[in-house]
Amino acid sequence: MVIKLQQELMITSDKTIDGRGARVYITEGAGLTLQFVNNVIIHNIYVKHIIPGNGGLIRDSEGHIGLRTKSDGDGISLFGATNVWIDHVSMMRCTDGMIDAIEGSTAVTISNSHFTDHQEVMLFGAKDEHVIDKKMQITVAFNHFGKRLEQRMPRCRFGTIHVVNNDYTHWEMYAIGGNMNPTIISQGNRFIAPPNEQAKEVTKREYTPYTDWKSWDWQSEGDYFLNGAYFVESGRSHAWSPKPKNPVPNKFAIRPKPGTMVRELTMDAGALGCEPGKAC
């Protein structure tokens, strides 16, 4: 099932896109857009070679067609969207970001997915002036960040980002970055640094002097570092002992496994080869 979208697919609330039982490719056209919607699941599809849509009159519900400008070429774009789960998705080569969550998007989980061949993978918060993103809470878990990725896995403004049990086997600039004082909790990830001696650091605080970012709460707990990779912590967790309580509420938090187990935990990352009538 190969789908070439002429324009963005506008997904409404309370919807599930489930590709189990087929090989579903969204490719060579526009991507998926979640704008001011909630309760959406996107599961088990391939999103590849996404290009901008031209804009124009686009249906965004059963009873409404609206005029939209040219799309950016994101694979999956969240704009003011809440309660979203993106799971077992395989993505490569989008014109802009693979997954962007902006303008107050929150309660988002991106899990068990596989990413390759891209420059700017995930953007959480688009502009410094968008203080609405202070409420943003996103979990990035059990994903494989694979070959030929450059940066933004993710890149964050504001909000609280929980990065847990992911496998980072490639990056060219940095893996996790941001500005505007996001809280980033990295737990049980595996980071394999590239051969480039200038890119061993996992973290990057963009456009921010040390005097400002030294107070940001960026924690690394149980991460596994290989080939010279290192995570620069900051905030109270870095300056004082013991570390502060994890801000992710216990009832929502994933209990991380050690980073040494990540390869096993992410073996099935990406779209699954499911067959009708068999458990998947």
Q: Which residue type does 14 have?
A: D
Mean predicted confidence (pLDDT) in 21-38: 96
209, 164, 169: which is closest to 187 by C-alpha? Answer: 164
d(CA 44, CA 109): 14
d(CA 175, CA 171): 6
Residue of 59, 68, 152, 205 marked active site: 152
pLDDT above 70 (res 226): yes
pLDDT above 80 (res 244): no
Radius of gyration, alpha carbons of the chain? 18
130, 137, 134: which is closest to 181 by C-alpha? Answer: 134
**Most distant CA atoms of the chain, gap in Å:** 58
Is 152 labeled as catalytic in the residue annotation?
yes
pLDDT (tens digit per residue) in 180-216:
999 999 999 999 999 999 999 999 999 999 999 999 9
First and final CA of the chain: distance in angstroms? 19
Cβ-proximal residues to 53 (8 Å cutoff; 6+ apart), any chain:
5, 6, 7, 8, 29, 30, 70, 71
In the three-class reduction of DSSP (H, G, I as helix; E, B as strand; rest coil), residue 29 is classed as coil
Task: Kindly report each contact of residues 25-29 with a partner whose C-beta sits within 8 Å and lies 24 or more positions away, as own/partner.
Answer: 25/1, 26/50, 26/75, 27/2, 27/3, 28/4, 29/3, 29/4, 29/5, 29/53
pLDDT (tens digit per residue) in 123-173:
999 999 999 999 999 999 999 999 999 999 999 999 999 999 999 999 999
pLDDT (tens digit per residue) in 39-50:
999 999 999 999
Instruction: Check if CATH label 2.160.20.10 holds for domain 2-265.
Output: yes
d(CA 173, CA 193): 10
| Sequence spans of domains, the chain | 2-265
Write down the pTM of the prediction. Answer: 0.94
d(CA 163, CA 259): 12
- Which of 7-21, 93-107, 245-259 is predicted with the least confidence, judged by mean pLDDT? 245-259
Question: Using the 8-state DSSP alphabet, how is residue 21 labeled?
Answer: T
Per-state percent for the chain, helix, strand, coil, to nearest 5? 10, 40, 50
